[in-house]
Amino acid sequence: MLSIRTFQIALVLSSITALLWLANFRASFDPTFANSNSRVNTATSDSLRIDTPEAKQVGPLRRRRVAVGTVFPHHEEVYGAFAWTIANVLDSEKHVGPNSVHIYAEQTDFISLMKQLGQLPESMFRPAGKEELIAAVRSTTLFPDDPGAMIDLVALATCEIDLPQLGPDLLQAWDARPADKKFMLVCGAHNGADPSWQQKHSVEWAKRGAFRLLVISDHVVKFFKTQLDQWADSKDPVERLSFYEYVKVNAFYPVSDFVNFPLPDKSGGSRVPCTGLLQGGFETYRRDYNRIFLDLIRLLREDPRAWGYQWSDAERMYLPDSDAPNPPFVLHLLGWSRERLDIPQELERVVVKDVDFNMRDFYTLVQSMDIVIPGFSIQGGYLTQQASSTVHTALENRIPILATRTMLEAYPHIAGIASIFRPASLSEMEAIGLLRGAKINSENPDVDFSEVGSPASTGSQKCVGPLEFCQDVRAMLEHGWRRNRTEWDRHLQDVWKKNERLIGEILRDL
């Protein structure tokens, strides 16, 4: 016979088991109850949602003498923002003791702009060059206010170039130090498709447990983690004993603070988007220029007035229509000529090439845009193994970027007001056309978008296609493309806080 007390205990345990089962049951069917970490937020009315756990930043900083260096004359928008963020974290830490961050690199136009904006003080810079950086890393008298202190964190801006050129000398310097003076090497990787530097130049650092990778988007984190895991699980004992599974890979979002640029006031502008930006080198294997041109021609033929144009038989091209209900839409190609890129004659007054800008004029033009169009091609790898500067250019200049679900999963820090979510079944130009109230027919004759309602038109709410597609299109139109300064402030603060949490982890060797 069970005693009364035993029976009561059994009853309580049964009740707890039932409650746990009910919680799991609800979590599996109720999206509001379940953990939604695996989903990307696409609601443009929300602020940034980066589904990562809060960093457990406990204990003192282990790294407080930082050197940021490169021999590559590019990617300054990455290492400039990185140095700025490190300085902010060191300034915010209480009782951290003497600390510093110094840049050993050529002062480019972008770095000069950051200096003018007050983000990088002159005292942060040291002479550029390989010899200067190596000498600083070897020095035991570099910090008069901190006798005996040495650089304890070296950040290389571009692994693909810097690690082959600087890695051997840095490794000698690391080996020559006593055990309590070892430094950590943080390496900025940009393109997973470039294997020339990866194993050959990283293996000795991985063996020493003194190496971590820094990339600028989440999908590149996944790419490198997969690569490192494959090496770690290799049947080759040389690879397997290189301890690649312990190399940390993190995403740092290189977004500078351009609030003092100053930003233009767009509150009194057109109610429809009138300018779109396609930014990057003119390379058709990286961006779908020709597809976008053909798409735009098709849509202009269908409803030229909604785009602000009329056809000219005499000139064989579309010309601005002064009687159109809204100003004409202009597509800006901002970049540099790496290959010949011809604009179709029909679009010579619609598409503008912007080249040979100095840095301040470049950002002035970017900030005047309404929408950024990524236009990524499959071959470019911008959604699989490398990140695009277009993303952080759009963010820091507060221009919403037209993005699909796939892009939001690759760059989750643009989810929310920083992006205009479009279903992938709707092309970039079709999405902009709907935002302008244009008649839009799909390239597929079985799918007709022409009846989709738009804030800029008085059409009906009909939509041909799956229910989810129709809901996504209407959500895009409801949220629109305009953002206010408060929304941008909130979103960028979230991005910067995420970066600062990461820097806190790096400085603590977490």
Mean pLDDT of 261-272: 82
CB under 8 Å to 356, separation ≥6 — which residues?
none
Specify the residue for token string 């809901």.
471
Q: What angle do CA 345, 350, 352 make, to 5 degrees?
A: 90
Residue range 97-122, pLDDT digits in tens: 899 999 999 999 999 999 999 999 99
From first CA to last CA, the distance across the chain in angstroms is 56
The partner residues of 312 in beta bridges, in order of sequence, read: 317
Q: How confident is the model at residue 95 (pLDDT cuts 50, 70, 90)?
A: confident
Structure confidence at residue 364 as a pLDDT band (50, 70, 90): very high
Q: Which residue has the higher pLDDT, 38 or 361?
A: 361
Q: Name the DSSP letter for residue 169.
A: H
Residue 322 burial (10 A CB sphere; 0-12, 13-18, 19+): exposed
Q: Which of 11-25, 78-92, 327-341, 380-394 has the lowest mean pLDDT?
A: 11-25
What pLDDT score was predicted for residue 445? 63
**Residue pLDDT, tens place only, 485-500:** 999 999 999 999 999 9
Q: What angle do CA 291, 295, 298 make, to 5 degrees?
A: 140
Per-residue pLDDT band at 237 (split at 50, 70, 90):
confident
The per-residue pLDDT for range 399-447, each reduced to its tens digit, is 999 999 999 999 999 999 999 999 999 999 999 999 999 988 777 666 6
Phi/psi for 81 (5° steps) reads -65, -35
pLDDT at 30 over 90: no
